A and B are shown apart, each in its own frame.
Chain A
Amino acid sequence: MEFYRAHVLVCGGFPCVAAGCRAVRGEIERSVKEHGLEREVRIVETGCLGPCDLGPIVVVYPEGTVYSRVSVDDVSEIVGEHLMKGRPVRRLEYTERLPSVSQADHKRPDYFGIQERIVLENVGLIDPDSIEEYIARDGYLGAGMALTSMSPDEVISAIKASGLRGRGGAAFPTGVKLGFTARVEADQKYIICNADEGEPGTFKDRLILEGDPHKVIEGMIILGYSVGATMGYIYIRGEYYLSIERIERAIAEARRYGLLGHDLFGSGFSFDIEVKKGAGAYVCGEETALIESMEGKRGEPRQKPPYPGTCGLWGKPTVVNNVETIANVPPIVRNGADWFRQFGTPTSPGTKVYTLTGDVNNKGLIEVPMGITLREVIYGVGGGIPGGRRFKMAQTGGTAGGCLSETHLDIPMDYESLQETGSALGSGALLIIDDSHCVVDIACALLRFFEHESCGQCTPCREGTRRLHDIFRKTRELAATEKDLKLARELAGVMQASSLCALGQSVAVPLFTIMDHYADEIEAHLEGRCPAGVCRPNPANADESAYETLQAGNGIR
């Protein structure tokens, strides 16, 4: 093994790739070579380091100096000064909003802030393309322990005891779900990793897969063993090019190491994984629509029961879990349920990975314990709201999540507490909205999204999403009446009660929270007035929304 006196970590998460980190990395390699440092300095392209709006990010160890927005022109100075002479380049150093930096240096809790890393323990620290680096960080230890020293039931018991709940949004206890499928007798069972991350503003699964693909593979092996499934599929958004590239490479590596395929760890258990690319429909993140899509059909949810656990892919018992849920599994098996339960709250143990976006200083990928407050996230990790503006609303869980107002800033972010507010923790998007935005405009944009993404199968959702959007468009044009809004409430209530799947059922979540928490502001629109000064009669473009710009761009350049 070779030793290096310095490591240069170049963030290779997709926002940094988009910002030009590959060119920076190439330039660093060239410059390091030019200076004759290639045997002293190792350059590693890692997964996401966290502050996604500041890319390209470069971190130099052993000092742990973080450079943000590094350009190709900056490289010679970093190499010449920092690596040659040991003098960090202060001008490029990122200091101002440090709490959000996903400092992998566990010895420096000041950087770590309130973040707690289970899922992201390796993200930003190791080379995702290197199985050795993963193994060096106790990778595949959990799978080895499960397959060689635990019975499938013991694995399920451990996961049950950990209290892990589904991180895709529904929060169903993972161990219970596994138990259902384990009990079913079948000649074939499947594990599906749901990486069809479709909630606007959510990109955590993408960054987990990019930054630590082997962890997802390991988690799937353990889940497969626990229920008796020998085949796993990763259903991933087709446009997640980098994730697909890295996970496919990781699968090939794992096969080469005998960690996928026949008779793993000499246990007699065989398991393999295949990647299936989705074509981009939001609804395909719903597990049964995902299965339909995998079977080559139109991506439409199935009426349940039967549930996938007993009758899923190709009619076989199938466990569908979110990427983040699966990534929690190896550490739980490795460290035990008690260890896991020390994080988070009693009913929502563990951590939650969020993508923090919108009107907040530090945007990016964070992992925090369940139960911390919204205030801690926004004003701690998030570094507050830019321009000294006032917090207005936080949307949790993407479009299908609810909205939290100022009164909810001190509510613990866990499943139960958010449910009590009428909201939901959801998938992990956390969109912060300041007081320059209008809630009617926001509602309108959300409804437009639902209208566009409704699969069209069931009456309430297919017809209702359009009708709700119509009513809120009218409200935004300051032309709605109280009767319209009453109808909207009635309609959304019916959609929540009788739509076939969670898409139609969830429309009411953001809508009702907005209507309840911002009743006065909505009321003003009926009187022809938009307090935020956003809405006006007869806009040039009826679909234009300031909020959508915020949401679509994730606030990340």
Chain B
Amino acid sequence: MSDITLTIDGKSVCASPEMTILEAARTVGIKIPTLCWHEDLGSPSVCRVCVVEIEGQNTLQPACSYPVSQGMTVRTNTPRVRNARRMAIELLLAHHPDDCLSCQRNLKCELQQLAADFGIREIRFERVSRKIPRDESTPSLVRDADKCINCRRCIEACEKIQGVAVLSTVNRGFDSVVLPAFGDDLDSVVCVLCGQCTLACPTGAIVERDDTGRVWDALADPNMHVVVQTAPAIRASLGEELGLPAGSIVTGKLVAALRKIGFDRVFDTDFAADLTIMEEGHELLDRIQKGNAPLPLLTSCSPGWINFVERFYPDLLPHVSTCKSPQQMFGAVAKTYYAERADIDPARIFVVSIMPCTAKKYECQRPEMRSSGFQDVDAVLTTRELGRMIREIGIDFDSLPEEEYDAPMGISTGAGAIFGATGGVMEAALRTVYAVVTGRELSEDGLEFHDVRGLEGIKEAEVDLEGATVRVAIAHGLGNARKVMETIRTGEAPWQFVEIMCCPGGCVGGGGQPIGTVMSSRAERGQALYEVDREMPLRESHKNPAVLALYQEFLDWPLSERSHELLHTHYTPKKS
């Protein structure tokens, strides 16, 4: 359709007809304030902070959802508009705690920002609290319904993006609040703990459980040998948490910061990702060749996805790879192989993971994840928590010199790095599977499987393994995963191997990533990981010397008895 012309604040604006007033205004530098609107989640049109005057309309209209039309005249700066916006903010503040200084979202709260921007100095209504107890029922998330402002962004994220839909508005009128059904705790509903709601929430109504205290305690304990692993996605997102542009690659500074914080060894989950490829690649070949287990094989790296399949598709659990996630493979190896090599009592080893993920906090506590004889991973920190630790001790992150990971579990390949982007696990696996099946090496160009990259919700590809064709699919975001699973359930799925990541964009878009994560920043971070891959001297997991040494010295070969004991597990149906 051809463009239309409208007038906003006296300015003639050319806009495409599917735009909203908000979008059209932004093209000419008019930033209309918003609260319930979120660029990836649509416009619930409920907060009424973005209201504007439209000529010919009696009432004010929300710019976030109102479509532009030819000849429309809009005013965003009139006394009536300002009064309505100020009143909406004042009403929200009066029904919200005033503990900003001790709130986890202090200085990262959109309501606080609006109150500051509007210069709200007086709240003329009595402050009312909902008096709903904080929900600390899960290891991943903490909900404080008292801070909910009914913007419904978490509902949109949970229902529309993730297809999980555990959050909804309960009660009516002034008592309305977003909660799991019947006001239950998160652990008694089918929440998969992905934490996308924490990214959606404009306030502190739902946040990650803060485990920094436990990690500081371990670091302060002279008897503990504290090792840390960093997930692939962290190197592409921590910079953002600390004020750098989206997609900044900060691998070396990340290592340096972790050393400054006081970790005894700084290792890399990328190492464990390479290990995962060795196991999962062989599992795939095993299934294809022996026909001893159902196909397609589904990846198992993403703990939110595992929670989802346990609750929503328990009948398809046999499709799920028995491989543990890289985080858990790392923990199991750290407290056995590494403990043995370094001659440290595994009881004294405290394994910390830096993850883009809130579900990882739950995963590390699973009963399945104690194959070293101890809890394999002791604490999980999200990108946001690491950011706080770095800020707390006053590290000037941007000026840190770059440092290298420790050996052996800090040695990795480019294949491990791309695990953090949707399609990355698939690509890494294909690189290795190709070599194993054909016995030949891929060329530099052939290493990159562009069909499996990008942010399309569901991607499909066919890969020629010198005669044998492998058909694969990749889904990210559980809403897309659901579509793939429905196809598999029909028995008609054409694929042999399917990668599923719980969060949109994969781990770069995880629920533990910096506040303000949106699709465009996910894309930047994904690109950054592919850049990391390109810069690596080794780009295939089966060429990782540290992984090869691990097999030679400890595990024997992929899918060996010891591998099964330490690196594989079985998931079980959970009631939904």
Please state if B80 and A459 are interface contacts (CB–CB under 8 Å): no
Indicate if B41 sits at the interface (CB-CB under 8 A). Answer: no
Tell me, yes or no, whether B174 is within 8 Å of chain A by CB.
Answer: yes
A63 within 8 A of B: no
Query: Which residues of chain B are within 8 angstroms of A491 by Cβ–Cβ distance?
Result: 87
Indicate with 1 or 0, residue by residue over B48-88, a CB within 8 angstroms of chain A CB atoms: 11010000000110100111000000000000100110011
For the complex, is A426 an interface residue (Cβ under 8 Å from B)? no
For A281, the closest partner residue in chain B by CB is B172
Does B65 lie within 8 Å of A303, measured CB to CB? yes
Given A457-B46, A500-B46, also A462-B60 (CB < 8 A): no
Say whether, besides A467-B125, A494-B84, A460 and B174 are in contact (CB < 8 Å).
no
Interface residue A333 (Cβ < 8 Å from any Cβ of B): no
Are A496 and B59 interface neighbours, CB within 8 A?
yes
Confirm or deny: B124 has a beta carbon within 8 angstroms of a beta carbon on chain A: yes
State whether the Cβ of A357 lies closer than 8 Å to any Cβ in chain B. no
Q: Tell whether A88 is near chain B: CB-to-CB under 8 Å.
A: no
Closest chain B CB from A453 CB (angstroms): 7
Q: Does B257 contact A (CB under 8 A)?
A: no
* Residues of A with C-beta under 8 A to B169: 298, 456-457
Known contacts A460-B91, A491-B87; is A498 also within 8 Å of B48 by CB? Answer: yes
Question: Can you name the residue of chain B whose Cβ is closest to the Cβ of A459?
Answer: B88
A268 at interface, CB cutoff 8 A: no
- Is B492 in contact with chain A by the CB < 8 A criterion? no
Is the contact region of chain A dominated by helix, strand, or loop, or is it mixed?
A: helix
Q: A498 touching B150 by the CB < 8 A rule?
A: no
Is A499 interfacial (CB 8 A cutoff)? yes
Q: Is B126 on the interface with A (CB-CB < 8 A)? A: yes
**B174 and A459 form a contact (CB under 8 A):** no
Which residues 187-236 in A have Cβ within 8 Å of B in the complex?
none
Q: Which of chain B's residues have a CB closer than 8 A to the CB of A460?
A: 48, 84, 87-88, 91
- Of B48, B88, B176, chain A has the most CB atoms within 10 Å of the CB of B48
Tell whether B175 is near chain A: CB-to-CB under 8 Å.
Answer: yes
Instruction: State the CA gap A456–B168 with chains docked (Å).
Output: 12
Shortest C-beta distance, B80 to chain A (Å), equals: 6
CA of A497 to CA of B48, assembled, Å: 10
Which residue of chain A lies nearest to B64 when distances are taken between CB atoms in the complex?
A303
Q: Are B59 and A456 in contact (CB-based, < 8 A)?
A: no
- Give bound CA distance, A467 to B91, whole Å: 9
Residues on the B chain within 8 Å of A457, using CB: 46, 150, 169, 176
List the B side residues contacting A458 at CB < 8 Å.
Answer: 45-48
Q: Are A456 and B84 in contact (CB under 8 A)?
A: no
Kindly state the separation between the CA atoms of A451 and B171 in the bound complex, as whole angstroms.
12
When the two chains form their complex, are residues B46 and A463 in contact, meaning their CB atoms are under 8 A apart?
A: no
A502-540 interface bits toward B, Cβ cutoff 8 Å, 1 = contact, 0 = none: 000100000000000000000000000000000000000
Most chain B CB within a 10 A radius of its CB, from A298, A462, A464: A462
Asked if A459 contacts B46 (CB within 8 A), the reply is: yes
A466 touches B83 (CB 8 A): no
Interfacial chain B residues near A181, Cβ < 8 Å: none
Are B59 and A463 in contact, with the CB atoms below 8 A? no
Contact of A497 (CB < 8 Å), options: B47, B49, B65, B84:
B84
B67 engages A463 (CB within 8 Å): no
- Complex Cα spacing A497 to B88, Å: 12
Scan B231-262; emit 1 where CB is below 8 A from any A CB, else 0.
Answer: 00000000000000000000000000000000
Contact residues in A for B168 (Cβ distance below 8 Å) = 298
List CB contacts (< 8 Å) of A451-495 with chain B: 451-460, 462-467, 470, 487, 490-491, 493-494
**Residues of the A chain whose Cβ atoms lie less than 8 Å from the Cβ of B65:** 303
Q: How far is the CA of A152 from the CA of B433 in the complex (A)?
A: 67
Contact of A463 with B95 at beta-carbon distance under 8 Å, contacts A490-B83, A496-B59, A498-B51 already known: yes
Would you give the 0/1 interface string for B165-193, flagging 1 where the beta carbon is closer than 8 Å to chain A?
A: 00011011111100000000000000000
A456 near B172: Cβ-Cβ < 8 Å = yes
Interface: B94 (CB within 8 A): yes
Hey, which chain A residues are within 8 Å of B297, CB to CB? none
The answer on a CB contact under 8 Å between B173 and A465 is yes
Q: Is B417 an interface residue (CB 8 A)?
A: no
Contact A459 B48 (CB under 8 A): yes
- Interface membership of A388, Cβ < 8 A: no
Nearest Cβ on chain B to A277's Cβ, whole angstroms = 19
Nearest opposing residue in chain B for A456, CB measure: B176
Interface membership of B92, Cβ < 8 A: yes
A387 at the interface (CB under 8 A from B): no
A residues in contact with B83, CB < 8 Å: 490, 493-494
Q: In the assembly, what is the distance between CA of A460 and CA of B80, in Å?
A: 14
CB-defined contacts of A505 to chain B, threshold 8 Å: 59
Residues of B within 8 A of A487 (CB): 124
A497 to B80, CA, bound (A): 8
Of A298, A454, A498, which is within 8 A of B88 by CB? A498
Could you tell me the distance between the alpha carbons of A497 and B91 in the complex, rounded to whole angstroms? 15
* Cβ of A62 under 8 Å from chain B: no
Q: How far is the CB of A17 from chain B (nearest CB, A)?
A: 31
In the complex, what's the smallest C-beta–C-beta distance from A198 to chain B, in angstroms? Answer: 14
Contact B92 A463 (CB under 8 A): yes
Which residue of A is nearest B85, CB measured?
A: A498
Q: What is the CA–CA distance of A457 and B65 in the complex, to the nearest angstrom?
A: 15
B contact residues around A464 at 8 Å (CB): 87, 91
Residues of A within 8 A of B88 (CB): 459-460, 494, 498
B59 and A497 form a contact (CB under 8 A): yes
**Which of A451, A463, A464, A505 neighbours the largest number of chain B CB atoms within 10 Å of its CB?**
A463
Contact with B172, one of A305, A454, A490 (Cβ below 8 angstroms): A454
A455 nearest CB neighbor, chain B only: B172
Which residue of the partner chain B has the closest CB to A460? B48
A456 touches B47 (CB 8 A): no
CA distance A303 to B48 in the complex (A): 11
Q: Could you tell me the distance between the alpha carbons of A463 and B94 in the complex, rounded to whole angstroms?
A: 9
Give B299 Cβ to nearest chain A Cβ, in Å: 35
Nearest to B172 among chain A residues (CB) is: A456
Instruction: Name which residue of chain A comes closest to B49, CB basis.
Output: A459
What's the least CB distance linking B17 to chain A, in Å? 13
- Across-interface contacts of A305 in B (CB, < 8 A): 66-67
Q: In the complex, A233→B229 CA distance in Å?
A: 61
Q: Which one of A281, A456, A459, A496 contacts B175 once the chains associate, using CB atoms below 8 Å?
A: A456
Q: How far is the CB of A484 from chain B (nearest CB, A)?
A: 9
B23 CB, min distance to chain A CBs, angstroms: 16
The answer to whether A500 and B174 have CB atoms under 8 Å apart is no
- Please tell me if the beta carbons of A462 and B174 are within 8 angstroms of each other in the complex: yes
Name which residue of chain B comes closest to A496, CB basis.
B59
Q: How far is the CA of A490 from the CA of B65 in the complex (A)?
A: 25
State A112–B211 Cα separation when bound (angstroms): 80
Q: How far is the CA of A455 from the CA of B43 in the complex (A)?
A: 18
Contact of B173 among A298, A466, A490 (CB under 8 A): A466
How far in angstroms is the closest Cβ of chain B from A494? 4
Chain B residues with Cβ under 8 A from A298's Cβ?
A: 168-169
Contacts of B67 in A (CB 8 A): 305
Give CA–CA (A507, B4) in the complex, Å. 36
**Chain A, range 434-460, C-beta contacts under 8 Å to B:** 451-460
Separation of A53 and B171 alpha carbons in the complex (Å): 36
Taking CB atoms, residues of chain A closer than 8 Å to B92 are 459, 463
Contacting pair B173 A452 (CB below 8 A): yes
Among residues of B, the one whose C-beta sits closest to the C-beta of A486 is B124
Docked CA distance A451–B174 (Å)? 7
Q: Give the 7 A-B CB pairs with smallest separation, nearest first.
A: A456-B176, A463-B91, A303-B45, A454-B173, A466-B174, A494-B87, A498-B84
- Can you list 12 contacts pairing A with B, beta carbon distance less than 8 Å? A451-B174, A454-B174, A457-B169, A459-B47, A460-B84, A463-B174, A467-B94, A487-B124, A490-B87, A498-B59, A498-B60, A500-B46
Further 18 A-B residue pairs, CB within 8 A, beyond A456-B150, A464-B91:
A303-B43, A303-B62, A454-B174, A455-B176, A456-B169, A458-B48, A459-B46, A459-B47, A459-B92, A462-B176, A463-B92, A465-B173, A465-B174, A467-B125, A496-B59, A497-B84, A498-B48, A500-B46
Please report B residues at the A interface, Cβ cutoff 8 Å: 43, 45-49, 51, 59-60, 62, 65-67, 80, 83-84, 87-88, 91-92, 94-95, 124-126, 150, 168-169, 171-176
